[in-house]
Chain A
Amino acid sequence: DARVTQTPRHKVTEMGQEVTMRCQPILGHNTVFWYRQTMMQGLELLAYFRNRAPLDDSGMPKDRFSAEMPDATLATLKIQPSEPRDSAVYFCASGSPTGDGYTFGSGTRLTVV
């Protein structure tokens, strides 16, 4: 089965540290999304890319968050410096050019202490 791979699965870090989360989209998928999930806010869209170009990152706090796609097989989400309120599960999802739904990864559970 084709799947979206996210690393790491879990990350515990101290406040102020840099955090980098990685995502390998499904081969052939040209759209990549980053979502954040918390109990209070549910699933929030942070940013997404199409054909590696950023289309919308309005959901992302710009001062500390950055998202990139250095190549078609890798998307990264970086937080610098991290804060306790960033604790959440971060999901990457990828979509095919035909647009028939998106496939989510298993997520990165981030805890900032």
Chain B
Amino acid sequence: GQQLNQSPQSMFIQEGEDVSMNCTSSSIFNTWLWYKQDPGEGPVLLIALYKAGELTSNGRLTAQFGITRKDSFLNISASIPSDVGIYFCAGQAQGAQKLVFGQGTRLTINP
């Protein structure tokens, strides 16, 4: 079945540092999504990507849809304490309704 490999699994950084995480897939996706999950809550959509090569920003967040359609990355610039949480990538194949999720990247920020 479809699988997403998300890395790194966890990150420990200092406040103010930039963060980069990525997802790779064994199969092609037509949509890539990035979600963030805070403790005790459900994942919240951060950025949606719909076209290969697309680069989209949302404030300090930037995400790109890989040209091969098998990968995506998320960057966070100048991290702040509220960026702490688990970040998930998700892919959606053409014609499919369901999302396939990566295993998540747990971000911890030292003040």
Residues in A lying within 8 Å of B, measured CB to CB: 4, 31, 33, 42-43, 45, 48, 50, 55-56, 91, 93, 95, 99-107
Contacts and interface: CB of A to CB of B under 8 A. Distances in A.
A54 to B, nearest CB: 12
A105 B44 CA distance: 9
A107 B33 contact: no
A44 to B, nearest CB: 8
Given A43-B88, A101-B48, A106 B42 contact: yes
A55 B104 CA distance: 26
Interface centre among B40, B42, B88, B98 (most CB of A within 10 A): B42
Interface string B30-56: 010101000011111100100000000
A93 B42 contact: yes
Q: For the complex, would chain A's binding face be called helix, strand, loop or mixed by DSSP majority? A: strand
Interface string B82-106: 0000001000100001110111100
22 contacts: A4-B42, A31-B97, A33-B98, A42-B103, A43-B43, A43-B104, A45-B99, A48-B98, A50-B97, A55-B97, A56-B98, A93-B42, A99-B31, A99-B92, A100-B48, A101-B45, A102-B45, A104-B35, A104-B44, A106-B40, A107-B41, A107-B42
A101 B92 CA distance: 10
A43 B89 CA distance: 11
A29 B101 CA distance: 21
Among A33, A48, A95, A101, the most chain B Cβ lie within 10 Å of the Cβ of A101
B40 A104 contact: no
Interface string B5-44: 0000000000000000000000000010101000011111
